[in-house]
Structure 1
Amino acid sequence: MKRFASLFVLTLMLFALVPAAPAATKKKKSTSDDSSSSTTSTKDVPEAFPVADGVPKITAGSAILLDAKTGKIIFEMNADQRRPVASTQKLLTSLIVAETGDLDHKVHVEASDTWAEPTMLYIKPGNVYSRYDFLNVLLVHSMNDVARALARDNAGSLENFAARMNAKASELGMRNSNFVNPNGLPIPGQYSTARDMAQVALAAYRNPIIRGIVCQKSVTWHYNDGRVRVFETTNQVLKRYPLCNGMKTGYTEAAGHCLISSASHNGRDVIAVVLGDNKNIWNDSYKLLAFGLSS
């Protein structure tokens, strides 16, 4: 009875204050990330969270769920299957930049930084922004041009930064990954696994800079020309469910819908990595987070 009551309370907390799903913005078809992921239909999300004693059934290609404090695996499915992971790898990009430090450092935008489609901040050559401001808009709204600017500023070139990504991956114990660019856009030879991305997620979750950014539901951006825009998070789990506290979305046609998400309740912290999913990405992530928090 005590366990049932606990699960009932958890269910209410997860589904309390759920706003109506926002209308999808019509966009041109692309192979790039997050523009589609952020507007994936939520009409099939159940009114009552399917928390159960059994393992959740999900439609993703790969997934893993772990305790963020101990690293203990709670659930896994095809966790070592290589696949593209889209913009979720921006967590690794951001981790490298955050650990480099000097976040007030000014990044001077170059023309090559702007060569990215289609989720873009539309920065221009000659613009100057801080690393910290770029990290905020990168993690909250997944701007591909920002990823390029941060990578080039950090390592001198995208190629050098890719080498740093792979070195960091090795340091984190990732044995089944190879990174070629900082933003996760499709390119031959780039792949990871749910298990490996869980290691990135753990490191990012334990980094106070990253953790303080990914929990934001929006960021206000001040362009150099005086314009101001508010960019909302692409993470629909974060927007709708109060126990979620981050992390990063991803989408390409090759990768499918991807989400690394985290949640906390009663001293328990969990991280779910869901890769290669369809429109069920949000619901599958909900299921795993709730299962982890209640198990």
Structure 2
Amino acid sequence: MENCWSCRGPPSPRYGTSAARSLRPLWSGARLAAALIASGATPRIIRTQINQLDSIQVCKESAIPAPRPFLRYSPPEIDAQSAISLKAAKGEQEEHELLFDKSSARSLPPASLTKLMTAVVMLDLMPRFGRSLTDYLDIDEADVVGGSGINVKPSDKVVFRDAIANLMLPSSNITANAVARTFGQLLLDVEGNSGTDARERFVVEMNAKAAELEMRQTQFRNPSGQPARGQLTTAADMAKLMLTVARYPEIMACWETPTHVMQVAGPEPREQKISSTVRVINDYDVLGGKTGTLLPDCYNVAILSEAPNGDPLVTVILRAPDQMSLYTDLRCILDAVKRSRDWPRGTPG
């Protein structure tokens, strides 16, 4: 990633003074962030202050509006096999603006990004079956399939609000299986079809939702993202899903803080602290996101963030070779797209 100066700190003299001038906003932002952290500022205050700095500095970088992305900045070189970043449209009359693309139509495993769809389908089905966020999800022995999610176990009960957090933050496979089994069975009962596996019925609903969202190259095989033949997606399709997720306040609320205390009821009642797997969740411009990992070399992430003027951005990276590359790639993309165009002044979020 020789071209990704923003991830390496100040450039050496061999890059010249023009390169140094182009990176001054990043250095200023780092100094401001350090000062705010030292003063005990909250993540929201830090995000607002740095977005205001970005809005001033980025909009001053050129007096000539950029007619297309990356007119003044070369797109970063990344190690991941596929990625996309776009500015989300603010209204029905607007179109999403593509800011970065690397093989975004390439089919790759979604891993635990699958749970974004699991949560969306669950929230769509809850009112149909009279369920609320304060009702309980039961964990069953049949749900213990997959290698993560050991913070809940058979006979535990968690309210659906905490179940969403357990899907989005630590990425619990057991919770995903419990959601699929529960709502898949409700679908089977109302349809009068008792001979089909409940989780399989829920996955049918996931794929129907994917078709509705025009995720044409996506096929789900299970609700958790565990390895399965034919379970594939693309960065472009996952970006469509993230744009949909942003419209669900129940999911967005999970991402407001990197940790959550889940109340577990049942034979062993307890409080269970859970934390986000997204390493950049506290970055000033990151609003939320989800990771997905399949060892040894498939590291995915989908992120909602803010542009310098507060516009919403969606960035998806698929199949980075390791965790360090994943977050280096992500930060390179986020920093580059901010400086790829002139952002209309607005009120940062």
TM-score by length of 2: 0.69
Match of 2:181 in 1: 152
User: Structure 2 matches for 1:155-194, cutoff 5 A?
Assistant: 155-156=184-185, 157-194=198-235
- Are residue 136 (structure 1) and residue 136 (structure 2) matched? no
Corresponding letter in the other structure for 1:54: S
Partner of 2:310: 267
Partner of 2:245, secondary structure, is helix
Match of 2:189 in 1: none
Partner of 1:93: 118
Taking the aligned partners of 1:285 and 1:181, their CA distance within structure 2 comes to 27
With over 3 angstroms needed to count, the CA separation of the structure-2 counterparts of 1:293 and 1:223, relative to structure 1, is: same
**For residues 74-89 of structure 1, what are the structure 2 equivalents within 5 Å?**
74-89=99-114
Q: Cα deviation per residue 1:177-198 (whole Å; 9 max; x = unaligned)?
A: 1101011000111111111111
Q: Is the 8 A contact 1:81 1:193 kept in 2?
A: yes
1:113-262 alignment to 2 at 5 Å?
Answer: 113-125=143-155, 127-156=156-185, 157-224=198-265, 225-239=268-282, 241-253=283-295, 256-262=298-304
In 1, Cα distance between equivalents of 2:249 and 2:34: 27
CA distance, structure 1, for counterparts of residue 134 and residue 260 of structure 2 = 17
Q: Which of residues 128, 135, 139 in structure 2 aligns to 1:109?
A: 139
Seq. identity, %: 26
- CA RMSD between the two structures: 2.6
1:52-63 counterparts in 2 under 5 A?
53-63=73-83
- Distance in 1 (alpha carbons) for counterparts of 2:326 and 2:33: 16
Separation in 1, partners of 2:259, 2:269? 19
Unaligned runs of 5+ in 1: 20-50
Alpha-carbon contact 1:148-1:182 (below 8 Å) kept: yes
Displacement after TM superposition at 1:293 (Å): 3.0
In 1, are the aligned partners of 2:86 and 2:315 still within 8 Å (CA)?
A: yes
Residues 266 and 288 of structure 1, relative CA distance in 2, 3 Å threshold: same
Which entry has the higher C-alpha Rg, 1 or 2? 2
SS of residue in 2 equivalent to 1:237: coil
CA contact (8 A) 2:148 2:174 kept: no
Superposition deviation, residue 292 in structure 1: 2.7
Task: Map 1:27-42; keep pairs closer than 5 Å.
Answer: none
Residues of 1 paired with 2:203 and 2:285: CA distance?
Answer: 34
> Which of 283, 292, 295 is residue 337 of structure 2 equivalent to?
292
Contact kept? 2:183, 2:202, Cα under 8 Å: yes
Residues 74-118 of structure 1: CA deviation (Å, up to 9, x unaligned): 111111111101001111111111233432232222221122323
Please name the residue that 1:31 is paired with: none
Q: 5+ residue gaps in structure 2?
A: 1-17, 39-69, 90-94, 127-131, 186-197, 341-349
In structure 1, what is the equivalent of residue 195 of structure 2? none
Instruction: Specify whether residues 191 and 172 from structure 1 end up closer, same or farther in structure 2 by C-alpha distance, changes over 3 A only.
Output: same
Deviation at 1:64, TM superposition (A): 0.5
Residues 198 and 271 of structure 1 are in contact (CA less than 8 Å); yes or no, is this contact kept in structure 2?
Answer: yes
The TM-score, its normalising length taken from structure 1, stands at: 0.81
Task: Please give the secondary structure, in 2, of the residue aligned with 1:292.
Answer: helix
Change (3 A) 1:17 1:251: farther
- Distance in 1, matches of 2:215 and 2:254, equals 24
Q: Quick one: structure 1 residues 255 and 176, their matched pair in 2 at CA, closer, same or farther if it must change by over 3 Å?
A: farther
| Deviation of 1:213 (Å) | 1.3
Quote the offset at 1:284 in angstroms: 0.7
